[in-house]
Amino acid sequence: MDLACPGAAWPDYRGGSLLNLMQTLSGELGGPDLGHAPLRGDALDGIGRHRHVCLLLIDGLGAAQLRRLGPDSRLRAGLRDEISSVFPPTTAAAVTTVLTGRAPAEHGLIGWHQLHGDEIVAPLPLYVRHPAGSANAPQALADSLFRAPPLFERFIRPAALLLPDFIADSPCSRFHAGAAERVAYHGLDDGFGQLQARLRSTTPGFHYLYLPQLDTLMHERGPDSAQARRLLAAIDAAFAALLETAAACDAAVVAIADHGFVAAPASQWLDVDADAELYGLLARPLSGETRLAYCHARPGCAGRFVELARERLDHACWAVPSAELLAAGVFGPGTAHPELARRCGDVALIAKPGWNLRDTLPGEKTLRLAGVHAGVHPDEQAIPLIACRPVPMA
């Protein structure tokens, strides 16, 4: 992609991304043709012939994290390929691609915070960041925000989504599960245990297990922390036990991530709102992510904002007109969501390695994280494709 961001990693939507994986998986399981290129390689070929197919999404387990934290893990032993996520490589965009089979350009969810109507909302937890005092409730936001139809309900075999108890019945989960079964679990052991129990059924099924625990920990403690290493070891032990059950139940197991991670040094957080002249050119607060900020300029001020941002913030980020991102296709192929261009704003500030961008509204605590994602560092974009099949009996 021809964008002036040296060293940047972008998704490979021509056959090497999460979007392409979902295109191939849908075909294997009798789902719709989503109109995208299939996944290159044979990692998923014939997977639909197995009685059970499991898709584990380990939030935040990028390819770099798997190499560094679990070099001798059972997960890494099952690695078939490293593929790219989507843009931006963040849960709102990538998990929605998994659940719908649609690119971020199509489903329209492009950040932790994004413009929706005249409000800046968080599309997963469904709250309004700006303006303060909005009367919009989570269900009302869900009803107006989500539009890409759920994918799993359209597979020819029964599908179930195993989700942490604190999100299993959220408006976001209810919409994106559609008619598929939602199953709440309570902690790692229960999640894996319920999945193993389901594999013992003689009825073919598709089982999606979403694991957000590692992502949460790496945000708090950092992607290379001892705590992250220990948690991955616990996930890996549960994964190894799952494979034993899978081998006896004709179950194929695929494990992926939604994005990777990079560390967020405390000394490299840039407060965009500290520059009164620059921030004053914006019509509303920043949206997007700390590694990718969408900037909506006041009428007639976009050019001056780009000029000042490049002059004053060049050490920390690239200031890219949002029209260039859209023209380059970074959000993926397909028919663009009608609000995509508006949600991207006039300018995107893309953080350079090590840097994060923020503003702080009245009533908010200053955001501090030890690990982050959603930018263009290769460690944010590359994710593992792990696939394990039962060995046929001799």
Judge whether residue 4 has pLDDT over 90.
no
Judge whether residue 391 has pLDDT over 80.
no
Domain range list for the chain? 18-39+46-263+377-388, 266-371
> Tell me, what's the pLDDT at 392?
60
Q: Tell me what the mean pLDDT of segment 63-79 comes to.
A: 98
Judge whether residue 74 has pLDDT over 70.
yes
> Tell me, what's the pLDDT at 393?
44
> Tell me, what's the pLDDT at 141?
95
Scored b (16 or more CB within 10 A) or e, 112-127 reads: bbbbbeeebbbbbebe
> Tell me, what's the pLDDT at 394?
38
Class of domain 18-39+46-263+377-388: alpha beta
Q: Tens of pLDDT along 177-218?
A: 999 999 999 999 999 999 999 999 999 999 999 999 999 999
Judge whether residue 94 has pLDDT over 50.
yes
Q: Tens of pLDDT along 278-329?
A: 999 999 999 999 999 999 999 999 999 999 999 999 999 999 999 999 999 9
Q: Tell me what the mean pLDDT of segment 375-388 comes to.
A: 98
User: Closest Cα to residue 289, out of 351, 366, 332?
Assistant: 351
First vs last Cα of the chain: how many Å apart?
48
CATH of domain 266-371: 3.30.1360.180
pLDDT band with cut points at 50, 70 and 90 for residue 133:
confident
User: Closest Cα to residue 265, out of 355, 374, 366?
Assistant: 355
**Mean of all residue pLDDT scores within the chain:** 97
